[in-house]
Amino acid sequence: MSLSGKVAIVTGSGRGLGLAYARELARQGAAVVINDVDADVAAEAVRTIEADGGKAAAVVAPVGSTEVAKQLVQAAVAEYGRLDVLVTNAGILRDKSLLKMTDEDFDAVINVHLRGTFTCVREAFAYFKENGIAGRIITIGSPTGQRGNFGQSNYAAAKAGIVGMVRTWALEMKKAGVTANAVIPVAATAMTKTVPYFQKAVEADERGEAMPAFFRHGLGFGTADDVSGLVAFLASDEAAGITGQAIGAGGDRLQLWTHPEAAATEYREGGWRYEDLVEKFGPLFGGKLQSVGEEFLPLPEELQPEEQPATTAPAKVG
């Protein structure tokens, strides 16, 4: 087991994707600190990992504040003597279109996803640096943060911000030998379960059957376990040379996302005045404007959701 002797914190790991990450880290030999806001859920997650033969302890607290970040690191050190890996998975949703989204909706999502990632990573990195540990930081992004999604201003901002921080942290942590990466999962979750487009895939997963190839291969959509292997790999010594990356995983697909690059570049001596842009922007850039949102293939007839109109694309995928 490649993570034997390692200790990992996984925030938001009581259920779903977070629990899958924690279980895989434990299967690879790491002792895991489970985190959830529900004590019963956290305790059940610990029992599940112990039943698998792994080691786990729980911290019941809402991620976001510096105090909770300190509590998580202190718990890992107190329980297992050290910390080697941090996976920042905790998150919530408050989906609404822009004019319906309140300040509270926006702030709640930013606090858990973005600020929670920031505070936990800051605390973990401080521990790594002070103790000379070449630790691993694994954050969780989303396709929504990469391409946008209707009704998710708060979530898109948080997930895009996480990837931006990862690229910055890769620079700041390099000298200490600490890596920082973002995983972009596409998997069956409580959210995708409500999207008719994914109905047949989620139903197959719930029955313990393989998802149809259209989802797994064509869309790169799969189970939580399809993502957990990447998380464990990035936590390992074998991934020591990988940092500052956004890596997608889902179904049969693995993706390395590009850093934002200019899609087209033009120069004009003396700069670009308003009149120049009116005349030249369309001919120069009109055919190169970038798409927004995820683009999906139409569902085959046999995979159409039951008692629903024909679906060409999901409402939410991130």
User: Whole-angstrom Cα distance, residue 185 to residue 182?
Assistant: 10
Question: Is 127 noted as a catalytic residue in this protein?
Answer: no
> Distances in Å between the alpha carbon of 304 and those of 60, 152, 199, 214?
40, 25, 8, 12
User: Whole-angstrom Cα distance, residue 177 to residue 181?
Assistant: 13
197-225 exposure pattern, b = at least 16 Cβ within 10 A, e = fewer = bbbbbbebbeeeeebbebbbeebbbbbbe
Place of tokens 């797994």: 216
What does the DSSP assignment read for 174-191?
A: GGGT-EEEEEEE-B--TT
Of the residues 127, 155, 267, 274, which is catalytic? Answer: 155
User: Whole-angstrom Cα distance, residue 107 to residue 262?
Assistant: 31
Active site amino acids: 155
